[in-house]
Amino acid sequence: MLVNILLGVAIFGYAGFALFNAIRKSKKGKCAACSIKNSCSSNCSVIPNQK
């Protein structure tokens, strides 16, 4: 019983942590949150035309 509770807390805790990080990164914008932004050559200030 105690193992099940600890396992549940660990799973939901990690899910909350992952969700928190995803929301925090999404607030920064596409290029600011990118993990390869230092070596990326794309121009993030230009938005491509959508048809």
pLDDT, tens digit, 9 for 90 and up, residues 1-51: 999 999 999 999 999 999 999 888 888 776 766 666 667 766 665 455 544
Is residue 46, in this structure, part of any structural domain at all? no
Is residue 47, in this structure, part of any structural domain at all? no
Q: What does the pLDDT look like over 27-41, one tens digit per residue?
A: 877 676 666 666 776
Show the CA angle centred on residue 14, arms to residues 38 and 35, nearest 5°.
Answer: 5
Question: What's the domain range around 23?
Answer: 1-34
As a three-state string, the secondary structure of the chain is: CHHHHHHHHHHHHHHHHHHHHHHHHHHHCCCCCCCCCCCCCCCCCCCCCCC
Q: pLDDT at position 26, please?
A: 81
Is residue 40, in this structure, part of any structural domain at all? no
Domain count, the chain: 1
